[in-house]
Structure 1
Amino acid sequence: MTNTMWMRGVEWLAAAAADPRSCKREWDHGEGVALLEAGRFWDLLSVPDRLGLLTLDLLWRPGVPVPGPALVDTAAGRVGFFLPPDPCGGWVGAGLRYATKGAWVAVPPPYRPARFLEWLVPPDGTGRLHSPGALEDALRQANGSLAVLGPLGGQ
């Protein structure tokens, strides 16, 4: 990722903050994590890390555009996918958590990890997000693979 892309990613993410300048200061000089409100520019679907990593692998294929931003929380064992805002918040399922308007998400800057948060796919500033349909298909496929692999992993 080029410096220009990182700078655009910083501006894009910080725009979701109540005070973008304060957000950028926190990233650079504070704890390195800012709380950003979901629901205005993006929503976040958080899934267990095994499911999320396999899903991201399915989305990231040659010849297909790079998927939208994805964040891993190693302390919680979760992967978050940034999606277009959905006022209905129609994502339900075992282990799924959906953050939309009124929810706050801890995010590091696009250019480095902070504490337990790290970008798997950092935002590039274009506003590109995960397509809900493609993400749902990949989640279903990954979940099916895990159902098959789960019993094998125990042997």
Structure 2
Amino acid sequence: MAFPGTRTAVEWLAGVAPDPGACRWAWERSPLGVALLPAGVRWDLLITPGELGRAALGVLRRLPAPPGPVLAAGRSGRLGFFVPPGTASGWLGTGVRGAGRGSWIAVPYPGRATGGPHWLHLPDGLGTLTDPALLELALHEAAARTLAGEN
């Protein structure tokens, strides 16, 4: 069963592909259920270690405005926060990698389970992204809580 915004999320994501139809085809017919999409067009990705990223996502979910889409990698456990284009090139943070223009991301179909990357926070189809300043603050809070042994 698809979540209510699946169609708009699919269109928003596929809209960055060089061939949106091929992107939708890959989602529907690929055994992995993912499509490669270019970062740096509508969004960049900030990639965090799993434990830190999950704690930061918990902080972001307590704020009044929802975070943007968040992907979890399959085996590595890393999280990818969708942020405005250009953010990755200027981001400085220990252990946080950026994927911007020139990077390609394996993106699963919204709301469908795959054996690899999966959504922790689905795209809304409207273009909502995580504010980099709020993400930075959430990462600081998450790191402080982790060091203090809190959850």
Same fold (TM > 0.5): yes
Deviation at 1:89, TM superposition (A): 1.4
Distance in 2 (alpha carbons) for counterparts of 1:94 and 1:137: 14
Partner deviation per Cα, 1:21-67 (whole Å, 9 max, x = no partner): 111111111131111100010000000010010000000016x1221
Correspondence for 1:54:
55
- Misfit runs of 4+, over 2 Å: 1-4
1:66 matches 2:66: yes
Give the C-alpha shift of residue 2 in structure 1.
6.8
Change (3 A) 1:4 1:77: closer
Gaps of 5+ in 2: none
Q: Distance in 1 between matches of 2:88 and 2:59?
A: 26
CA drift at 1:111: 2.1
Q: In the TM superposition, what is the alpha-carbon distance from 1:88 to its structure 2 partner?
A: 6.7
Rg: which structure is higher?
Answer: 1
TM-score by length of 1: 0.89
The residue number in structure 2 matching 1:24 is 24
Aligned-residue offset at 1:113? 2.4
One-letter identity of the residue aligned with 1:37: P
Query: 2: distance between equivalents of 1:87 and 1:47?
Result: 14
5 Å-filtered alignment, 1:126-145, equals 126-145=126-145
In structure 2, the CA distance between the partners of 1:135 and 1:91, relative to structure 1 (3 Å rule), is same
1:33 corresponds in structure 2 to 34
SS of 1:89's partner is helix
Q: Distance in 1 between matches of 2:9 and 2:40?
A: 18
The RMSD of aligned alpha carbons is 1.9
* Residues matched between the structures, number: 149
Matched AA of 1:7: R
Q: Deviations over 1:105-149 (max 9, x none)?
A: 111011212222110111111000001111111011111111222
